[in-house]
Structure 1
Amino acid sequence: MISIVEFRRIMASGFLPLACDCTVNHDGSLRISVFEPESGRVDLLLTGVSTEGLDSVRSVSNLIGELRTEIKAGRRGFAAVG
């Protein structure tokens, strides 16, 4: 995986004007929350996201595209991705 700092930067810019918070779980997987910054409304919450394959800007951009599709479809959360 690319560094968590770089991952967070790419994710944050990919969801503007929404906000994105990414944290590393104790098992090394990721927790990703995409939300409206003023109201705090959560548009998407993912837990247990595998870092496998997230080794380039392109792979993270592809993930953002997939997650944007899920948000548009009205899905708000997943237990695990990847």
Structure 2
Amino acid sequence: MQHIIEIKLKKLLKEFNMTQQELCNKTGLTQRTISVLANNKIERIPKTALSKIAVAFELDDIRDLIDFKNEDKKDHQ
């Protein structure tokens, strides 16, 4: 089994009915940063970005934003 870090930003945006641009305006983060985080296309996740996003969504638990996604190698055969 392989652990993959999953950023659940796309799910949060949908749940809160918020666009990426609205989140940019609320957090001060760039459109590019929000986009790569929402699409899980980032290798190094800036702690400041996670903190700003958590504040914007009023999250109490970091696992609401970032978590492990278990992926079994058998699923890819």
Fold match, TM over 0.5?
Answer: no
Which structure's residues are more often strand, by fraction? 1
TM-score normalized by the length of structure 2: 0.27
Higher helix share: 2
TM-score (norm 1): 0.26
- Greater RCO, 1 or 2 (C-alpha within 8 Å, sep 6+): 2
Which has more radius of gyration? 2
